[in-house]
A and B are shown apart, each in its own frame.
Chain A
Amino acid sequence: DVKVTQSSRYLVKRTGEKVFLECVQDMDHENMFWYRQDPGLGLRLIYFSYDVKMKEKGDIPEGYSVSREKKERFSLILESASTNQTSMYLCASSSPTGDEQYFGPGTRLTVT
């Protein structure tokens, strides 16, 4: 069965803290993605990676960075968290053909 896991379901951080969100997939997928989801705005792509150590900016990369040291793991980093980064963060993976992306359960991040 397809599985994408995220390190935390809920996270509360203070403004200015460095935040790490981890995502692991067990499907041997090349492509991995980080989205944020906000009411009325839908899912917006932050970064994606199509191979180990490769990354591409999505639509809203400002304030975020990513790391992919191993094929199964894709990390999202908030260098200095701000309140406008309070959101639901979703990780996904897909095969190289780009067909159906499989999503993790999400991390609800609150920055106070």
Chain B
Amino acid sequence: EDQVTQSPEALRLQEGESSSLNCSYTVSGLRGLFWYRQDPGKGPEFLFTLYSAGEEKEKERLKATLTKKESFLHITAPKPEDSATYLCAVQLSYNTDKLIFGTGTRLQVFP
């Protein structure tokens, strides 16, 4: 069964304390992996797409990386405004219409 697992479920960081969020996947064939940010009461906001192992994407304090089994979202020197839930999703190579989402990591950054 195709599955996406995110860890940790929740993460509390002090402002400036760098860390990483993990998204591991077990799928028959991967076409792409997506990262989204979701603020409370709002819809997910697209951040990155990764297509192949070794690929990296950066945006401000965030950097996403991809291996054959997992993806990491690295947050460097986070600020309180980075507090949100971060979702990852995989797109299957044999069924590109749908995304399979993980349950997310809820990040809180304290000043």
Contact = CB atoms under 8 A, between A and B. Distances in A.
Contact of A42 (B45, B46, B101): B101
A50 B46 contact: no
A31 B98 CA distance: 10
A98 B41 contact: no
Contacts of A103: 36, 43-46
Interface of A: 4, 31, 40-45, 48, 50, 56, 58, 90, 92, 97-106, 108
Interface of A is mostly: strand
Nearest to A44: B101
Contacts, number: 51
Interface residues of B, number: 22
A98 B96 contact: yes
Contacts of B42: 105-106
A42 B49 contact: no
Contacts of B34: 100-101
Nearest to B45: A103
Among B34, B44, B103, B104, chain A packs the most CB atoms within 10 A around the CB of: B44
Contacts of B87: 42-43
B44 A42 contact: no
A62 to B, nearest CB: 17
